[in-house]
């Protein structure tokens, strides 16, 4: 009898294990990633979308862009400086990271550095006891805005510049000073720019980057060559119509003008995840000039579509004036810009639509269905086709109303970049007619339709080519009331798609 019970128990246990394993096998797993992948810090950076630059220093008082390095610190006296106004302006514009030029090419330091007397310490501002970097940090913290710093490698003032070891030691000392003294810094900016007649010397970038990561491991390092964020290759704020977050860092060098197109487009075969940041100023110049005014709203929106809408982060410079405040006209333009972005993208017409796909990983209820493209998670929930569905991937959005269809002029597509960037080519059709096409998607691709406002019932996005299976995390249909593509500036006639 004991042997019979032992046999029955063994059979029962085997059946239970078999049932358990078969149940586990029914739960579909995520697809394998396509390397390279972003780091956690890079993902958080990408989600910011819009960040702010603050160019401020002696150039603000000399009406110049590049200082000579011979400026008398006595000219720096922003009697009304209010970093709280800078940060509230940023926060009101939905900006979560502000980067300050702690030292520009002129070598003047906005903090009291113990390694030079060419700083705020020698200025009349606050009787030499001021610290712009500290005021920025103090103003940012209660608003939940993160801080970044720009420290120019090219220094036109310091006598050590041109003496390789001495200057690299000086630069490293100032890096340590900034990263040890002012708390968490989310992005550090290494500008590769320098004048043609500057002394020839090598920067020890490898040493600098290693020191930065040692002091603050979660920081993103920006330069022409990364290692975390790359320059987009121009100062217009425009990424390439094809823009990969992947690139080969071995092909990059800082300050090399010949690689600007490569930086602008990235590389589908790149072995490094190095997304692009688009830097541009709200005015013509980087520093404040009394004679200049901010760019128009339509121009800022064009920049937004060609930066954020092309898989990049937009770094918008808003320079404080000689009083130490962001000029009211710039504040108002930023508010208009934020209101416009919210007006366009706060409503997603696709949310009220039904969604159909070419195939679905794991079948219905498997966790990778088309419903994921309409939720609020734009990174980790996504539609995935079946592994054996090798071509013809598509997703279709169908209006469910009886009012004649959907009315929109912007189409948004986002990839699940946490598993790699994949899409190489895509087409978009409305009621059978192609209305847009493109190459890369990445974190976000925005198609502002050249035909203007469209009325249609069925929107189909076809993925014509991709690296592995395409994974789409979000889709949006939006109406942009500020978009008037007709040459004469009039609102285009709405087009019914037959």
**Residues 80/84/87/92 CA torsion (nearest 10 deg):** -110
β 354-357/393-398 pair status: antiparallel
Report the chain's C-alpha Rg in angstroms.
26
Q: Is 16 a residue whose pLDDT tops 80?
A: no
Average pLDDT over residues 324-351: 98
pLDDT of residue 405: 87
Q: For residue range 371-417, what is the model confidence (pLDDT) as tens digits? A: 999 999 999 999 999 999 877 899 999 998 656 689 999 999 999 99
Mean pLDDT of the chain: 93
Confidence of residue 496 (pLDDT cuts 50, 70, 90): very low
Confidence of residue 498 (pLDDT cuts 50, 70, 90): very low
- Please state the length of the chain: 498
Contacts 24+ apart (CB under 8 A), 345-349: 345/412, 345/476, 345/478, 347/478, 347/479, 348/374, 348/412, 348/476, 348/477, 348/478, 349/406, 349/407, 349/408, 349/476, 349/477, 349/478, 349/479
pLDDT of residue 17: 47
Confidence of residue 9 (pLDDT cuts 50, 70, 90): low
Cite the residue boundaries of each domain of the chain with CATH code 3.20.20.80: 40-346
Q: For residue range 63-103, what is the model confidence (pLDDT) as tens digits? A: 999 999 999 999 999 999 999 999 999 999 999 999 999 99
Element (H, E) at 221: strand 220-223
pLDDT of residue 400: 82
Does the N-terminal peptide bond of residue 101 adopt cis geometry, omega within 30 degrees of 0?
no
**Residues 288/293/294/297 CA torsion (nearest 10 deg):** 180
158: its two tokens: 């310091």
430: its two tokens: 């409305």
| Phi-psi sector, 94: left (phi>0), alpha (psi -120 to 50), beta | left
Task: State the number of CA atoms in the 13 A half-sphere of 367 facing the CB.
Answer: 8
User: How far is Cα 146 from Cα 188, in angstroms, rounded to an integer?
Assistant: 12
With CA atoms as reference, report the closest residue to 242 among 261, 258, 222. 261
471: its two tokens: 């994974």
Q: Is 15 a residue whose pLDDT tops 80?
A: no
E-strand ranges in 115-205 read: 146-151, 187-189
Q: Is 116 a residue whose pLDDT tops 50?
A: yes
Confidence of residue 26 (pLDDT cuts 50, 70, 90): confident
Could you count the other beta carbons within 10 Å of the beta carbon of residue 35? 11
Q: For residue range 212-222, what is the model confidence (pLDDT) as tens digits? A: 999 999 999 99
Give the percent of the chain with pLDDT over 70.
92
Q: Is 111 a residue whose pLDDT tops 50?
A: yes
Average pLDDT over residues 155-182: 98
β 454-456/458-466 pair status: unpaired
What topology is assigned to 353-478 in CATH? Jelly Rolls (2.60.120)
Q: For residue range 117-130, what is the model confidence (pLDDT) as tens digits? A: 999 999 999 999 99
pLDDT of residue 466: 97
Confidence of residue 491 (pLDDT cuts 50, 70, 90): very low
Q: For residue range 238-278, what is the model confidence (pLDDT) as tens digits? A: 999 999 999 999 999 998 889 999 999 999 999 999 999 99
Q: Is 343 a residue whose pLDDT tops 90?
A: yes
Q: Is 223 a residue whose pLDDT tops 50?
A: yes
Q: Kindly write down the DSSP assignment for every residue of 357-404, as one continuous string.
A: ES--TTSTTSS-SGGGGGSS-SSS--B---TT--S-EEEEEE---SSS
Q: Of the given ranges (99-103, 171-175, 225-229, 397-401), which has the lowest mean pLDDT?
A: 397-401
pLDDT of residue 391: 74
pLDDT of residue 402: 58
Question: Cβ neighbours of residue 299 under 8 Å, at least 6 residues apart?
Answer: none
**What's 40-346's CATH class?**
alpha beta
pLDDT of residue 102: 99
User: How far is Cα 386 from Cα 3, in angstroms, rounded to an integer?
Assistant: 48
Cite the residue boundaries of each domain of the chain with CATH code 2.60.120.260: 353-478
Please, what is the angle between helix 132-140 and helix 83-92, to 10°?
40
Residue 401 buriedness (CB in 10 A; 0-12 / 13-18 / 19+): exposed
pLDDT of residue 389: 85
Confidence of residue 492 (pLDDT cuts 50, 70, 90): very low
Does the N-terminal peptide bond of residue 36 adopt cis geometry, omega within 30 degrees of 0?
yes
With CA atoms as reference, report the closest residue to 52 among 328, 296, 334. 334
Confidence of residue 283 (pLDDT cuts 50, 70, 90): very high
Q: How far is CA 422 from CA 220, 269, 365, 395, in A?
A: 23, 11, 24, 16
Confidence of residue 365 (pLDDT cuts 50, 70, 90): confident
**Residues 380/383/387/391 CA torsion (nearest 10 deg):** -130
């Amino acid at each position: 009898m004991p042997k019979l019970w032992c046999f029955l128990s063994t059979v029962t246990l085997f059946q239970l294990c078999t049932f358990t394993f078969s149940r586990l096998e029914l739960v579909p797993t995520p697809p394998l990633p396509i390397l390279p992948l972003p780091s956690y810090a890079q993902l958080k950076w990408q989600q910011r979308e819009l960040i702010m630059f603050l160019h401020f220093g002696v150039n603000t008082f000399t009406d110049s862009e590049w200082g000579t390095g011979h400026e008398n610190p006595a000219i720096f006296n922003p009697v009304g400086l209010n970093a709280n106004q800078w940060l509230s302006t940023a926060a009101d514009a939905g900006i979560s990271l502000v980067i300050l030029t702690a030292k520009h090419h002129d070598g003047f330091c906005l903090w009291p550095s113990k390694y030079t007397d060419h700083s705020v310490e020698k200025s009349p501002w606050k009787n030499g006891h001021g610290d712009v970097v500290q005021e920025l940090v103090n103003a940012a913290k209660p608003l939940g805005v993160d801080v970044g710093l720009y420290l120019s490698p090219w220094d036109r003032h310091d006598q050590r510049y041109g003496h390789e070891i001495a200057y690299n030691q000086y630069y490293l000392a100032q890096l340590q000073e900034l990263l040890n003294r002012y708390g968490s810094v989310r992005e550090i900016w290494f500008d590769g720019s320098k004048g043609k007649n500057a002394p020839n010397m090598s920067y020890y970038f490898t040493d600098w980057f290693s020191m930065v990561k040692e002091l603050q491991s979660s920081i993103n390092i920006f330069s022409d060559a990364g290692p975390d964020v790359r320059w987009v290759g121009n100062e217009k704020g425009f990424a390439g119509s094809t823009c990969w977050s992947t690139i080969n860092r071995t092909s990059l060098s800082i300050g090399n003008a010949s690689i600007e197109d490569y930086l602008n487009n990235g590389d589908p075969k790149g072995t490094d995840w190095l997304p692009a940041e688009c830097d541009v100023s709200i005015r013509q110049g980087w520093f404040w000039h009394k004679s200049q005014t901010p760019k128009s709203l339509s121009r800022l929106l064009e920049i937004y579509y060609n930066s954020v809408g092309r898989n990049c982060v937009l770094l918008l410079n808003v320079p404080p004036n000689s009083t130490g405040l962001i000029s009211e006209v710039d504040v108002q333009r930023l508010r208009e810009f934020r209101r416009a972005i919210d007006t366009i993208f706060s409503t997603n017409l696709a949310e009220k639509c039904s969604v159909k796909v070419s195939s679905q990983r794991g079948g219905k209820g498997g966790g990778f269905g088309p419903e994921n493209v309409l939720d609020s998670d734009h990174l980790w929930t996504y539609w995935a086709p079946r592994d054996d569905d090798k071509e013809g991937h598509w997703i279709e959005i169908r209006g469910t109303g009886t009012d004649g269809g959907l009315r929109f002029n912007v189409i948004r597509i986002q990839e699940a970049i946490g598993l790699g960037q994949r899409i190489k080519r895509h087409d978009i059709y409305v009621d059978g007619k192609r209305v847009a096409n493109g190459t890369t998607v990445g974190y976000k691709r925005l198609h502002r339709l050249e035909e203007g406002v469209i009325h249609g019932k069925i929107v189909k996005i076809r993925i014509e080519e991709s690296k592995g299976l395409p994974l789409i995390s979000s889709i949006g249909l939006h109406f942009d009331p500020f978009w008037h593509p007709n040459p004469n500036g009039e609102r285009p006639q709405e087009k019914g798609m037959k």
